[in-house]
Amino acid sequence: MATSKLQALWNHPAGPKTIHFWAPTFKWGISIANIADFQKPPETLSYPQQLVITGTGLVWSRYSTVITPKNWNLFSVSLGMAATGLYQLTRKIKHDYVSVADPIVAKE
């Protein structure tokens, strides 16, 4: 049973013998790097970079469901990119526009 499933994966049009498998697999590195950046202070984040990560994630997640054969690896990595990019954008916007500076207390 396991052998037949592995054989089916190996021979799939988007399987490990094709670029349609390896490109999304290596694309996970972008999402992992963005997750590692969760620890960085929000002022170091870049709006253009996070907008591009979010946008490409949304576009490619849609594309991966309309192509034949459907590429679920591309869908999952693209959804991950969109989610991490959106989270980073939220952090940056909160830092730049929502957070209130601590009031300065006058010394007597």
Closest by alpha carbon to 50, among 13, 96, 86? 86
Whether residue 103 lies inside any domain: the answer is: no
Q: Cα torsion at 9, 13, 15, 18 (round to 10°)? A: 160
What is the reported pTM?
0.79
Number of domains in the chain: 1
pLDDT (tens digit, 9 = 90+) per residue, 84-106?
A: 999 999 999 999 998 776 666 66
Cα–Cα distances in angstroms (integers) from residue 25 to residues 1, 95, 99, in the given order: 25, 32, 37
Whole-number Å distance between alpha carbons of 86 and 44: 16
Answer yes or no: is pLDDT of 8 > 90: no
Question: Does an H or E element contain 48, and which?
Answer: helix 47-66
pLDDT (tens digit, 9 = 90+) per residue, 33-87?
A: 999 999 999 999 999 999 999 999 999 999 999 988 888 999 999 999 999 999 9
Whether residue 83 lies inside any domain: the answer is: yes
Which residues constitute the domain of residue 50? Answer: 24-98
